[in-house]
Chains A and B, each alone.
Chain A
Amino acid sequence: MRRTCLNMVYELAQRDDRVVFIGSDLSPGLLSDMQTQFPDRYFMEGIAEAHTIGMAAGLAMDGYIPYVNTIATFITRRCYEQVAVDLCMHDLPVRLIANGGGYVYAPLGPTHQATEDIAIMRALPNMAVVCPADADEMTRFMNASLDWPHPIYIRMAKGGDPIVTAGQTGFEIGKGVLLRDAAGSDSVLLVSTGVTTTRCLAAAEALAARGLAVRVLHLPTVKPLDQDMLTDLAAEAQLLVTVEEHSLIGGLGSAVSDCLIDRLEGRLPKIRKLGIPDIFAKAYGGQDDLMHDVGIQAPHIVEMVEQTLGLN
């Protein structure tokens, strides 16, 4: 997904001379073709996230569209005020490409694990938050990103993630994707963003085998949220489960329940939220290990549905 995303920056740069790439001390040789072809629009800067965001804002004020890339925790925590003031207050079309959303950097410890990034980014006015599920969706999103006139936070997965959005066409920022449909009334609705969508689809298969009607709603843009689609599907569900590789504070589950409390008062389905509890990871290993520890793998989703519906 990361390679796809960066290759798309190069492709967009070939298509549109407003596109600029800014990295913060990334791998040697990264996007070397773009550097060779467009030396004026390729910047590899030092370890100075606060400055880099301001510099990107200065370029965007003059009509450029900077795609800024570094590790997710650094591009959110380190320079939050620059993101808030320089990008969001000015409402500039700068794109933050955040490597390692969630537990991607499991072996490197909590300094590198972006587990509250969705919450703090979506709290900022004008900021869009996008979490593609796979490389195919990343390609479609990147095409759509070019002319979005506001800042965007792009949450990257590990890479090599299974392709689960094949067959989809186009990408509209603010639109959800119903990746698995079923009979509407009394359905179970699994709502996800990013790579937990893969886990939801696997869980849905297992639950369908038990005779349940399970829908999977993938929300690649947590903000703006597709409130209409979410509300319509939730209105037909007996149980809605949100699944995210993110803190339970302020992420997808919060966005979904905030929306539904407003829109479905008195008609709410049962709602359960799976995500990361209010802790820093205590172990290392791989992304899947930590996702297992906090209970956001497919078997946990199945268990939550069965438990809530009294099926086990």
Chain B
Amino acid sequence: MSVLVDANTRLLVQGITGKSGSFHASACKEYGTQVVAGVTPARGGEKFEKTVPIFDTVSEAVAATKANASMIFVPPEFAADAILEAADAGIQLIVAITEGIPVMDMMRVRFALREHSCVLIGPNCPGIITPGACKIGIMPGYIHRPGNVGVVSRSGTLTYEAVWQITSEGLGQSTCIGVGGDPIHGLTLQKAVEYLHADPDTKAIVMIGEIGGSEEEEAAEYIHSRVKKPVISFVAGATAPPGKRMGHAGAIISGGQGTAQAKIEALKKAGVRVAETLGDIGQEVVKALGK
């Protein structure tokens, strides 16, 4: 068992002919992900690395290859359109890696997706991986190891740090999900925690948050009332100055809202183990699992 992706996932890559798209499509394929199709308008009929068929549209790709997940590397100007195209073609899992999509575009996309049953991860995210089975995204595959710790995070490199610490402790991961650093995005921290909690192979959940918004607080409320598995957390940006956008468009303290202190307090109240510093996540997981 795992969450959202496994060895049967059939991946399509939108923007497969671009620089990042082709590099990461290749890396996912190498990791063992079934990359069944690529989409780039006006490049239909070509093949990626001599084996993966390229189509002009997502619906053609789905009809021909039964793709059920899409990874999007389309430039920010056209990324909202790409997400809507994937949803319209019936793709069930859309992973948008693209960074820099206008907020208004994502506002409209999120609204439009209410009419679809698909799950959107991202944008501006590292993607999702079930170690040893399926990697959809830009994370370095080798730092992961199959295991039973689920990881969800708003930040790419912080996910890698946490995963690395878990692997270094001799443990492994069930599924790792990066929900992305933009203010308006698809899958929320809370929803990811729900999935991981429902997964029988996940024994502990690591949730990494950062300043801005209120998703950590919302997840904390859910954890408090529903989650029986141990949850370990870390929140970045405790010392970030207010009003400054800290790299991620969504990482900003505005009007006294979205501070790390408030998030940490809410998580502690919900019974979550909060790592004091970034380097303590691995050990907190070990303690939580009683090993």
Q: State whether these chains interact.
A: no
A residues with a Cβ closer than 8 A to B are none
Interface residues of B (CB under 8 A from A): none
